[in-house]
């Protein structure tokens, strides 16, 4: 026997269809609970429960004393794709900007050597950048690039530019495949300050290894992202 949907769940689906049919835009305010209750001929408590379902799904946001609004669309982040984060954001019609926070040449530690399977002491560029989407911080990115493959990489090459596009144009290095891991972490002090969230807020951590076309390791990356701004998908070949 199939699962019977409750009135609240059915109503949440009807509201979702209504929003699509009326072509509601991001951040647009919905009619009041009273108006929706009259429209659907149900009690306000039932409408409130249905709206909360849509809030939990990330379709709506609730602002106390102001009502319900269409939630901004999440950036669709394709796990097994080699497009840059910048490109993914801009394909959704959002503006993208990246602020360079750190750029230095370093010798990898024992811990990083174990993660990359490179020899301890291998030189890498350490790059930390803050990613914005529509002027709001959405991700803190850390990239470690093997120096021998990208000699003379400079701050100018990575400031508000696609790192992967720079590697393609300047060094003819193309990311062809990667291994990655996604987990949930809690914001530390630095992450909370830069991403403008409360300490210990759950974040998505995306980390892994990226390889160029000859099979050589080019990059180790660690990125923390706001969970309410990002949607991970897997693209089938």
* pLDDT (tens digit per residue) in 174-210: 988 888 888 989 999 999 999 998 888 889 898 999 9
pLDDT at 1: 45
Extended strands (E) in 115-187: 123-133, 136-146, 175-186
pLDDT value at 82 more than 60:
no
pLDDT value at 91 more than 80:
no
Q: What is the pLDDT of residues 28-72, one digit of tens each?
A: 999 999 999 999 999 999 999 999 999 888 789 898 888 999 887
Q: Looking at residues 141-163, what average pLDDT do you find?
A: 92
Better-scored residue on pLDDT, 74 or 107: 107
Q: What values do phi and psi take at 172, rounded to 5?
A: 60, 40
pLDDT value at 137 more than 80:
yes
Q: Which residues contact 46 (CB under 8 A, 6 or more apart)?
A: 7, 8, 11, 37
Reported as a pLDDT band with limits 50, 70 and 90, residue 125 is very high
Evaluate whether 116 touches 91 at the Cβ level (below 8 Å). Answer: no
In order of start, what are the domains of the chain with their CATH numbers?
7-70 (1.10.10.10), 75-233 (3.40.1410.10)
pLDDT at 4: 64
Alpha-carbon distance of 126 to 87, in angstroms, equals: 22
Task: Calculate the CA dihedral of residues 40, 42, 45, 50 and round it to 10 degrees.
Answer: -40
Better-scored residue on pLDDT, 4 or 179: 179
Q: Looking at residues 124-146, what average pLDDT do you find?
A: 91
Mean of the per-residue pLDDT values of the chain: 86
Q: Looking at residues 215-226, what average pLDDT do you find?
A: 92
Alpha-carbon distance of 201 to 186, in angstroms, equals: 5
Alpha-carbon distance of 149 to 108, in angstroms, equals: 15
Percent of the chain with pLDDT strictly greater than 90 = 52
């Amino acid at each position: 026997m199939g699962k019977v949907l409750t009135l609240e769940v059915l109503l949440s689906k009807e509201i979702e269809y209504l929003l699509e049919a009326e072509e509601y835009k991001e951040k647009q305010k919905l009619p009041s609970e009273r108006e929706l209750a009259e429209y659907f001929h149900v009690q306000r408590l039932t409408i409130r429960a249905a709206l909360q379902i849509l809030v939990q799904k990330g379709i709506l946001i609730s602002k106390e004393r102001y009502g319900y609004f269409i939630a901004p669309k999440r950036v669709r982040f394709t796990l097994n794709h080699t497009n840059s984060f910048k490109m993914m954001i801009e394909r959704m019609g959002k503006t993208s900007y990246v602020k360079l926070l750190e750029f230095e040449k370093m010798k990898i530690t024992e811990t990083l050597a174990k993660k990359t399977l490179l020899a301890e002491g291998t030189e890498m560029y350490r790059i930390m950048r803050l990613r914005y989407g529509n002027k709001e911080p959405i991700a803190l990115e850390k990239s470690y690039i093997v120096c021998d493959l990208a000699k003379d990489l400079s701050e100018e090459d990575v400031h508000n530019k696609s790192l992967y596009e720079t590697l393609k144009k300047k060094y003819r290095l193309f990311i062809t495949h990667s291994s990655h891991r996604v987990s949930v972490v809690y914001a530390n002090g630095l992450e909370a300050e830069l991403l403008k969230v409360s300490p210990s807020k759950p974040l998505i951590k995306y980390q892994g290894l990226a390889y160029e076309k000859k099979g050589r390791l080019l990059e180790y990356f660690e990125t923390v992202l706001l969970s309410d701004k990002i949607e991970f998908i897997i693209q089938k070949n």
